[in-house]
Amino acid sequence: MRVIRRSRATFRRLVVSAVAVASLVGSGLVSAQPAMAAPVFQAPFACGETWRGATRSDHNDYHSIDFNWGSGSDDYLRPVHASAAGKVTGSGVYNDGVSYVLVDHGGGWATRYLHMQVGSLLPVGTTVRMGQVVGKVSDVGSPGAYHLHFEQRYNGEIVAATFDGVPFSYPDQSVTSRNCGGAASGGFGDWSGDGKADVLARQASTGNLYLYKGTGAGKLQTGNTQIGSGWGGMDALVRHGDFDGDGSEDVVAREASTGDLYLYRGNGTGGFQTGNTKIDNGWNGMDAILSPGDFDGDGNADILARQEATGDLYLYRGNGAGGLQTGNTKIDNGWNGMDAILSPGDFDGDGNADILARQEATGDLYLYRGNGAGGLQTGNTKIDNGWNGMDAILSPGDFDGDGNADILARQEATGDLYLYRGNGAGGLQTGNTKIDNGWNGMDAILSPGDFDGDGNADILARQEATGDLYLYRGNGAGGLQTGNTKIDNGWNGMNAVF
């Protein structure tokens, strides 16, 4: 997610992009994969969490992975998330006492999840979206050894696992999840296909769009690559994850002069496919556009938009092939009173993508719970007040390592940066934590997920006076490591960073 500082009058028109992301920590030998293209599997645990995975000598197949979030017993009842969209074709307990859920993803592909709490298992016949909770970690069939046993399968055979397109580094590796239920709990995707988080930026003077490739170690590679031109005419840019189902990250952009909405398909190697695709018109009436991932549970990325004239909030359902399904769905009204809207992923732990919004008149912060079928649950929940003093609000995913989505906010009067810890049930823990000061000198703040490959969520910020871009490394416990790192300069010429 990005925030570029504006006046209060224009802050309410903020376009927020929350892109589903993750990082893989470590490297190693790459195992051969079957010829048929697989789904873009994600890690089988919550967005932003880092788990340690390892194979074992007594596994019936080397490519099986045992995942642990903590040291063992503290893994008990951790939610297990579907690695990709599909349908539950097996669920229960085998004759040897091991509990399991088997999800069919089509085309011969499946995933299997073992040792979960029996009462938590999704039943056979359940259609699941990527990121939906399929069960909870336990020790069923492995007494005292709390862990998740995970397998990716092709035509019934266990194969070498990949997460977000990057092969798992056997025999063991830490994995930070991009499995956000299609929602993006803060963070960038891998635009260039090398497994590392990248940055896209538009040059104000030319309208050219540039790719800055990350090194995976908290820096940018030397130089940049122009990947598009003529982007000066776009007044809303949303980095959308994979919108067309080909496994590569895409960008959705609105043309200011016409209100037309275009899809720019990523080619998976750091550029765009030839041409663009007009996917809708009439979007000049929308003053907020969000990418919540899969909001309706059909496995396809969707778009949410607020109509300026009415304040109505609409769902535009993606068709999974780079377009929108016919028509839209009004899911709520009265949103013209909100001056900041975020898509934080699953904020209340029920497996569905949610929305956070700040009420301009009061500064109150509200949670709108998604129902997993493209709508909102009845009513909203006020989770805090006094947020009218904040001029930048970010959804970084799990910033403190407790498995729950958190919020970062900058206080306008002081420039102090605060962490608000989510409680995993749709609220905030008591109090907040000041994690740094002097941020009033920053005019763009981004939450890129794990940018340096250490498994912790980080922050990128542009210094207004100099145009320098800085990395602030998260410590994995809700704070920042000492100091910052200047990773580039000359960014004051960019009017969109995402």
Structure confidence at residue 24 (pLDDT): 25
Q: Where are the domains of the chain?
A: 49-177, 199-272+342-497
C-alpha 150, offset from chain centre: 21
pLDDT of residue 413: 95
Return d(Cα 84, Cα 101) in angstroms, integer: 13
Distance CA 202, CA 233 (A): 11
Structure tokens at 200: 């896209």
For the segment(s) 49-177, the CATH number from 2.70.70.10, 3.30.70.120, 3.40.50.970, 3.90.79.10 is 2.70.70.10
Q: What is the mean pLDDT of each run of 10 residues along the chain (498 residues)?
A: 40 34 27 54 87 89 93 85 89 92 92 92 80 87 93 95 91 86 46 70 83 76 84 72 70 86 80 85 89 77 91 91 90 94 83 89 95 92 95 85 83 94 92 93 81 76 89 87 88 72
Q: Name the DSSP class of 123.
A: P
CA pair distance 427, 423, nearest whole angstrom: 6
Instruction: Say how far apart CA 120 and CA 102 lie, in whole Å.
Output: 14
Indicate the DSSP class of residue 9: H
Residue 250 has a pLDDT of 80
- Spatial neighbors of 10 by CB under 8 A, at least 6 apart, are none
Residue 241 pLDDT = 67
CA distance 170 to 181: 26
**Phi (first) and psi of residue 297, to 5 degrees:** 80, 15
